[in-house]
Structure 1
Amino acid sequence: MEGLILPSFAWEAIDISPDMLRIWRYGTRNVSDIQPMRIQPASFAFTLLLGLLASVPYSGIDMSLPALAATGVALGARPANVGFTMSVFMLSLATAPLVYGPVSDRYGRRPVVVFGVALFVVGSLACALAQSLPVLLVCRFSQGCGAASTTVTFAIIRDLFEGDNARAKMANVVIAVNAVTVIAPTAGGALLALGSWRLIYTIQFIMGLALLIALVTGFAESAKIGKTGQTDSLAPSIIGRGYLHVLTHPISSAYILVGAAAGGTVMAYVTGSALFFINGMGLRPNQYGLIFSGCSGSVMAGAFLDRRLAARHFSPTHVLMTSLTVSATASGLFLATTLVGWASLPLIVSLLVAVAVAFGLSISNIISAAMHPLPQIAGAVSAVSGSIQMMAGAITSGLVTCLYDGRSALSMAAVMTSCSLLALASYLLIARPAERRGFAS
């Protein structure tokens, strides 16, 4: 019936009710679970809502970066200790999705994102009012736990869209996220100049509140939730089996590994670039900011290109193969030129831009491929994927920092090359063979 199209009078003639049509269209056992979207999923407004939702964690990171030193001065804390505000935020982003994933599969995406954004709003306000570093750390952890709920954004897309449409929507979300990473550090610096570090958290509170209102008034449930047999689906044993299913599924687990390695490549750049360009090459912070923004814009360009390719029905397999190969090649050239001492600034920036474009091209396809075999637990897949990618990013960031020699890009280039090669090898040797063998959920 999927390809069957009949005029409205034909449906009336065979006496199929609107409720029955919704059951056929959405594949749900409970018609009451399907509510019309107040903001139409195909509209630009809905894409913007998803983009803003997915951007919440990154606004919580990037806007706060310029204020670390000022926060330490105001609270009488050492700068190194204030850095823990980022650590606890990242920790919450890595762990909280493991709770949100199965909850969203059981009760739906809407209550999860509404609760999470509300928690982000409360946490942001508490951060703005904090009077000591320990209190700020607790508030930042709560803020991060709220922001982590937005990892179900890609599960929402998987609920509502298929194939190239899902790929295009995910590409749009990637564009929005990287737009935030371009703007947020500059916005944080401007807010710091206008007021104090508390103003940054106040603006996060206002932005979160506006997003919460949009969710409450415009977003309806997207998940296909049934009631039968789900009364104990949040029992620890059930959750554990769900995550084990994700981690042992040949296709999903392979693409989660590919995504973690690709994300590790980017996080190695994010950490190492500031160390190298400012400390090693002596660039001013504003000069480094231009390079950082240029690379974030390159990720956006890659995602935009992927969206255009999806509209033209280019094979995601070919796009993914090409992008992972470009990333590995550019990273390898970066390492080689660093080792032989040919690393000029224009060459380094060009290679980093190539890696960024490749990441923008690949990430939507990776996420879509990981979720496709297990649509019934898309929230769990999204949670595992986001958590593992965040952990991989933390590991690669730590490696780059620990191995940094104080002058060269060697640690950054080595970790980027290792991760990009791991991503390509995982795709070629694990993911593609699993797909060819025809594994199902």
Structure 2
Amino acid sequence: MKNQPASASLTLLLGGLAAVPYSGIDINLPALSATAAALRVGPSNVGLTISAFMLSLALAPLIYGPVSDRVGRKPTLVFGLTLFVAASLACACSQSLKMLLAFRFFQGAGAACTTLTFAIARDLFDEMTARAKIANIVIAINVVTVIAPSAGAAVLAIGDWRLIYVVQASAGVVLLAIVVVGFSESAKLCHGSELLPSAIIRDYIRFATDRVSVVFTLVGAAGGATVFAYVTGSSLFFVGVVGVVGLRPGQYAIIFSACSAAVMCGAIIDGRLGRWGALPAKTMTVGLGLLFASSSAMLALTLAGFSSTAAFATLLMIVALAFGISLPNIINATMQSLPDIAGTVGAAAGSIQMICGSGASSLVAVFFDGRSALSMVAVMAISSLLALSLYLMAPIPAPPRLP
């Protein structure tokens, strides 16, 4: 495999790698009850396996990023994917909840190496090409988000919950083989760099003192918090508000899938705009403005006592579309000014964004009143306003367009 901008195989590999963490969450959702019954614990306790996976997914990149800047993306990916495969098989063999929680943590730590895909895109391509590649990665992630729960249900229909982990391990083996055999190192390694704690700390200090990277990290975190809020709150509202909305799970799944498809459409639109010469700054302004406008419209409708399913579903899809338009540009801009430590920057940004997203999700759940979408739309409106304000008010220029 040659690391060329026109290589479809490279695009597929990056998309497949980036989708691993999301598949590790979504494919297991249909099997939570079956897992609880097999391990003789409550379903809510098995839900902690998702938390364990996401915790390591937030923390592990902080190690992978600076390591990959020094030893390379390829060996880091090989280590992480090997850990993912081993931990997935260990999950399949777990005989207790404690064992499953421990192995799910290590599974997430292995999957976290795939967050390097955005750094790889920045390694290989100029700004405009990287923007298109990142858009394709976002599309791949959302394809998995749409099909993973159904895939998990299909696997559960022919086997038990352990088979789902075997399937994940098998997918990891395929990706590992492709990386080992066909992927060329993308990072421009500095042979004088040392893998020492002091050197890693210096890299994180460089990130923390670079205004461009920090501002776009916070813009991405606020935008991501908007989406995490609707992921959590939409289920509570559409399914949980009985007598007002009270959709069946299958009906809600259609809405959720439509939102994932809207993110994909947004990323496709951004890719087209890039090829037509649209500046990233203008695209981000439009995307973040649309994100705030649609979130605010939902808040206004809620405060007015209006709870139309069709109206809320439509506005949620607009939110998802706006996020899809904005996200590739935000990711690209975050690493723009520090390309030599793109792994470190991407790791720090990803961890911050996941922590903020988890916080937004928790706020929605804690303040849900059981009668309306107020907690969801309030968090969405505040988060989207913060994202737009940070972008518009930042005393820094947008990343330049290369000729």
Q: In structure 2, how many angstroms separate the alpha carbons of the residues matched to 1:97 and 1:302?
A: 26
The alpha carbon displacement at 1:379 in A equals 0.5
Please say if residues 281 and 398 of structure 2, whose CA atoms lie closer than 8 Å, have aligned partners that are also in contact. no
Match of 1:272 among 228, 233, 243: 233
Residues 131-210 of structure 1 correspond to what in structure 2 (within 5 A)?
131-210=95-174
- Alignment of 1:241 onto 2:202: yes
The aligned length equals 397
**Structure 1 segment 371-386 matched on structure 2, within 5 A:** 371-386=335-350
Tell me the equivalent position of 2:23: 59
Alpha-carbon offset, residue 427 of structure 1: 0.4
Say if 2:336 and 2:399, in contact at 8 Å, map to a contact too: no
Shift of 1:40: 4.5
Q: Alignment RMSD, CA only? A: 1.3
- Structure 2 unaligned segments of length 5 or more: list them: none
Which residue is equivalent to 2:375?
411
User: How far apart are the structure 2 equivalents of 1:436 and 1:338?
Assistant: 35
CA distance in 2, matches of 1:218, 1:407: 53
**Which is higher, the Rg of structure 1 or of structure 2?**
1
Q: Amino acid of the residue matched to residue 349 of structure 1?
A: A
The one-letter code matched in structure 1 to 2:375 is S
Task: Give the drift of 1:436.
Answer: 6.8
Please name the residue that 2:179 is paired with: 215
Say whether the 8 Å CA contact 2:2–2:10 is kept in structure 1. no
User: Does 2:305 correspond to 1:341?
Assistant: yes
Work out whether 1:363 is the aligned partner of 2:327: yes
Task: Classify 1:436/1:198 alpha carbon distance in 2 versus 1 (closer, same or farther; 3 Å).
Answer: closer
Alignment match, 2:219 = 258
Provide the C-alpha distance between the structure 1 equivalents of 2:319 and 2:166, rounded to a whole number of angstroms.
Answer: 35
Aligned counterparts, 1:275-354, within 5 A: 275-280=236-241, 281-354=245-318
Aligned mates of 1:258, 1:194 — CA distance in 2: 43
Other structure's SS at 1:407 match: coil
For residues 195 and 407 of structure 1, the distance between their equivalents in structure 2, rounded to whole angstroms, comes to 39
1:112 aligned to 76, 79, 103, which one?
Answer: 76
Tell me, yes or no, if the aligned pair for 1:38 and 1:217 is still in contact at 8 Å: no
Asked if the contact 1:334/1:343 (under 8 Å) is kept, the reply is: no
Distance 1:362 1:244 in 2: 27
Q: In structure 2, how many angstroms separate the alpha carbons of the residues matched to 1:305 and 1:117? A: 32
Is the CA contact 2:5–2:129 (under 8 Å) kept in the aligned structure 1? no
Q: For the residues of structure 2 that align with 1:363 and 1:277, how far apart are their CA atoms?
A: 26
- Residues 39 and 365 of structure 1: CA distance in aligned 2, closer, same or farther (over 3 Å): closer
Q: Is contact 2:288-2:326 (8 Å) kept?
A: yes
The one-character-per-residue Cα deviations of 1:57-109 (angstroms, maximum 9, x if unpaired) are: 00001101111111111101111111110111010011000000000000110
Q: Given the superposition, is the C-alpha separation of residues 79 and 304 from structure 1 closer, same or farther in structure 2, using an over 3 Å criterion?
A: same
- Which residue of 386, 389, 392 maps to 1:422? 386
2:353 to 389, 395, 415: 389
CA distance in 1, matches of 2:357, 2:51: 12
> Is the CA contact (8 Å cut-off) linking 1:55 and 1:177 kept in structure 2?
yes
Paired with 1:272 and 1:135, the residues of 2 have a C-alpha distance of: 31
Pairwise mapping of residues 42-121 of structure 1 onto structure 2 (< 5 A)? 42-121=6-85
The two structures have a TM-score, normalised by structure 1, of 0.88
Which segments of 5 or more consecutive residues in structure 1 lack a partner in the other structure? 1-36
* One of 404, 411, 434 as aligned partner of 2:396: 434
Given that 2:333 and 2:399 are in contact with CA atoms closer than 8 Å, whether structure 1 keeps it comes out as no
1:100-140 per-residue CA deviation (whole Å, 9 max, x = no partner) reads 00000001100111111111111111111111100000110
Corresponding residue of 1:33: none
3-state DSSP of counterpart to 1:55 = helix
Deviation at 1:437, TM superposition (A): 11
Under a length normalisation based on structure 2, what TM-score does the superposition of the two structures give? 0.96
1:178-226 residue CA offsets vs partner (Å, 9 max, x unmatched): 0000000111122122221111111111111111111111101000012
Q: CA deviation at 1:248?
A: 1.8
Inter-partner Cα distance in structure 2 for 1:336 and 1:189? 37
Shift of 1:41: 4.7
Determine if contact 1:39/1:45 at 8 Å carries over to the other structure: no
What SS is found at the alignment partner of 1:434? coil
Give the drift of 1:343: 2.2
**Distance (Å, rounded) in 1 between the aligned partners of 2:366 and 2:149:** 24
- Does structure 1 conserve the Cα–Cα contact (< 8 Å) formed by 2:73 and 2:185? yes
| Secondary structure, counterpart of 1:279 in structure 2 | coil
Q: Are 1:402 and 2:363 counterparts?
A: no
Instruction: Give distance in 1, aligned partners of 2:269 and 2:175.
Output: 28
